[in-house]
Amino acid sequence: MNGKTIIGITDCSKYPNYEKWILNEPGVEVLKLSHVKNNFDEIRKCHAVLLTGGEDIHPRFYNRPEYLKLCEQDNMDGKRDEFEWKVLDYTQQNQLPVLGICRGLQLANVFFGGTLIPDIPSAGKPDHSKIKGVDRYHMVNLEPSSLLLKIAGEEKGEVNSAHHQGADRIGQGLRVNAVSADGIVEGLEREKTNGHSFLLLVQWHPERMTDQGSPLVKNIKDSFIKSIRTH
């Protein structure tokens, strides 16, 4: 790819964190894809998309309306769900590289036909949400032969954690690439990469991890940018 690289970043309450993280890369510009502005048509200017974190996804999108009581209902936005569903659909129809972070992983898993754990503690697993407003940190194990392992170059590493939901049934065409010690899915990618655009989904927040030199931060961003420029 010649010229400037434009990455669409979906809008959220912590949008500036993602913008700053991506704009550290030379030759990169960002475009805010906002469910508030409803500027979906601007995706045509983008060479790739970053799906950000944020609110719970309404369980109607994965046909589990009974899960609603376990969701943070005061922290949901159906218009955002619908907008970002269209964004993700566009990326798949037009072979745009995608990096999904936290909610971004969950949205993509649902988009591909998967389901979510509506509340990890209620499912009998250790809490993965923040502690008094501060990210938790824990280890993840990367799956053998995964793209993520190839990218990171390490079989395990420490990541931050700030989520109460997680992937349950995995969507069609996706595979798990990282898990926590308690069995929570921490990353997803395509089962088969040949002939498909880049798709990497992580449950942690690389844009705000303390160690920005970690392979689970730097290498992920580098591989995302490289996938755009070689697209």
What gap in Å lies between CA 218 and CA 34, rounded to an integer? Answer: 26
Q: Which of 199, 155, 148, 154 is nearest to 173 (CA)?
A: 199
List helix spans (H) across 13-161: 15-23, 78-93, 103-111, 147-152
Q: Which of 55, 71, 102, 164 is catalytic?
A: 102
Instruction: Return the sign of the alpha-carbon dihedral for residues 222, 109, 87, 164.
Output: negative
Per the annotation, the verdict on 205 as an active-site residue is yes
Residue 7: strand pairing partners: 30, 48
Q: Which of 47, 58, 164, 205 is catalytic?
A: 205
Residues noted as catalytic: 102, 205, 207
